[in-house]
Amino acid sequence: MRVTATIIPDVLELEPEVLGDQRGYFLESFRQDVIEESVGRVSFVQDNESKSRRGVLRGLHFQKPPYTQSKLVRVVSGRVLDVALDIRIGSPWYGRHVACELDGERKNMLWVPKGFAHGFVVLSDEAVFAYKCDNYYMPSHEGGIHWNDPALGIDWKLDPSLILVSARDSSLPGLSSADSFRYEEFSADRIYRR
């Protein structure tokens, strides 16, 4: 599996080797040793999956301490633009984001660490999106940032009139409301390499 740092070094793109022939394909979608070598100590406790049609945008979501989550996200089928937004106050990358196209053909994945808001928009007719989390979902500690906050400058690769969001996501506040994460507490070295 090839692991590549993005423009924010704590966010990684992973691309497995896909072995294919006339029967179909085979790949290793997860290897603990690769995660430990690339990220550090992570134990996943929950897998999630969603199916959405073109234009559906889910995000930008995060969970507040002490129920923060890291995610390893991928597309089973279809194509999405996946976004990880650094919300760690004091981070050299605070307010910046990584936008990575995840494709069911390439089978690439994105590592989204704690201290990042996460979201994606479906670019294909439909997409099945799956991800591993290292902490359980806790509704009382969910948070989010409005997907179209002008301070973020995210190009979602679709005309905004085609984007469909939930009522909850359409009422999320802007970046300045995310004040639960301090870089000194949520740097990758402190969380994963202790």
Structure token digits, residue 47: 């897998």
What are the b/e assignments for 36-67, b being 16+ CB within 10 Å? Answer: eebbeebebeeeeeeebebbbbbbbbbbeeee
Please tell me whether residue 71 adopts helix, strand or coil conformation.
Answer: strand
Cα separation, 14 vs 16, whole angstroms: 7
| CB atoms inside a 10 Å sphere around CB 150 | 9
Cα separation, 34 vs 18, whole angstroms: 16
Cα separation, 174 vs 22, whole angstroms: 49
| Domain of residue 73, residue span | 2-192
Which residue, chain included where needed, has tokens 């090839």? 2
CATH number where 31 lies? 2.60.120.10
Tally of structural domains, the chain: 1
Active site residues: 61, 131
pLDDT (tens place) for every residue of the chain, 194 residues total: 999 999 999 999 999 999 989 999 998 999 999 999 999 999 999 999 999 999 999 999 999 999 999 999 999 999 999 999 999 999 999 999 999 999 999 999 999 999 999 999 999 999 999 999 999 999 999 999 999 999 999 999 999 999 999 999 999 999 999 999 999 999 998 999 86
Q: Which of 92, 85, 45, 50 is nearest to 172 (CA)?
A: 85
Q: What does the pLDDT read at residue 194?
A: 62
